[in-house]
Amino acid sequence: QHSVVVADTGDLEAIKRYQPHDATTNPSLLLKAFDMPGYQALIDAELAAIRAEGGDRQAQAEHAVDRLAVAMGSEIAKLVPGRVSTEVAARLSFDTEASVRKAHELIELYERHSVSRDRVLIKLAATWEGIRAAEVLEKEGINCNLTLLFSDTQAQACFDAGVFLVSPFVGRVTDWYKQATGQDFTPDTDPGVQFVRGVCHRVNQGAYHTVVMGASFRNTGQVLALAGCPRLTISPALFEELATTPGEVKPRVLMARSGGPRPTPLTEPDFRWGHNQDAMANDKLAEGIRRFADDQERLEEQIADRLATL
């Protein structure tokens, strides 16, 4: 009623059950999906085609991650009316040109599956280089989802670049503050909830067109505290809990773009200094990139093993 719901899963059965508008994937979700029964025929077909093309086994595994991400995303696109987010490899997070090339490759793969670019969001880490890549892609008509967003500085740089969507994280922000302070938080005092509300406020003040999508939820209290945020990406476990919880959902975030004066766009030194001054954001962005890269490597290893058996 108040927010567009996005599925934070690659599980086709869960997507069918909860009927979200959009779906988002990342290397961690692809790693889980690699063992799901519903994907085995698709995986076998893609890997057989890659194996037949020949070439170096490691290069095949790296290419297979993109092929599988798009093949799975294409299946998901049949089930949702909106868009599917597909991630550029985390190891490219500090390389603008390589990120743009990878995005072009992903869009071309989607088009081979008859999924047009207006059904896809290219997902990039919100580093300076990732934001610059998104700026280039948006001008080409390729919309982007900037992920691993933890600081106001990252958010402002994304608004300046005109990106389609940003994914400010809730749970990982709260995790950091809980560990740093030893405190527990109510939904309204939750640092992750407050951060996303602040990002929404910035969008309203500057009348930016960027869509805000709250992500990385730890509990339903956080989800409900952000009802009214334009989009919320929710895991199947939290979907289930929400579906079985009685009560009325009231909007907690009001999106009313006032169109006030916008700040001067951030320069690269401004961005790097502003982000550096936020210890939580600095820690969590670096950690998030490492975690996605680790999951990508694990997925490549599993693919290489499977290719060897074909």
What are the domain boundaries of the chain? Answer: 4-309
The percent of residues above 90 in pLDDT, for the chain, comes to 78
CA gap 298, 65 in Å, rounded: 11
CA gap 125, 128 in Å, rounded: 9
**Helices 96-112, 57-77: crossing angle, 10 deg rounding:** 60
| DSSP letter, residue 87 | E
- CATH among 3.40.50.300, 3.30.465.10, 3.40.109.10, 3.20.20.70 for 4-309: 3.20.20.70
Q: What angle do CA 263, 268, 271 make, to 5 degrees?
A: 60
| Cβ-contact 124, 147 below 8 angstroms | yes
pTM of the model: 0.94
The whole-number pLDDT of residue 250 equals 95
Cβ partners under 8 Å of residue 225, min gap 6: 187, 188, 190, 193, 252
What's the distance, CA 17 to chain centroid? 21
Low-confidence ranges of the chain (pLDDT < 50): none
The whole-number pLDDT of residue 260 equals 79
CA gap 266, 161 in Å, rounded: 10
Cβ partners under 8 Å of residue 244, min gap 6: none
The whole-number pLDDT of residue 305 equals 87
Supply 262's token pair. 């916008």
Q: Where are the alpha helices (DSSP H) in the chain?
A: 12-18, 27-33, 40-53, 57-77, 96-112, 128-139, 152-161, 171-181, 191-206, 220-225, 236-243, 268-276, 279-309
Residues with a catalytic annotation lie at 123
| The length of the chain, given as a count of residues | 310
The whole-number pLDDT of residue 212 equals 98
The amino acid at 179: Q
The whole-number pLDDT of residue 287 equals 97
Residue written as tokens 């996303």? 196
The whole-number pLDDT of residue 139 equals 98
Q: Is 214 exposed, middle or buried (0-12, 13-18, 19+ CB in 10 A)?
A: buried
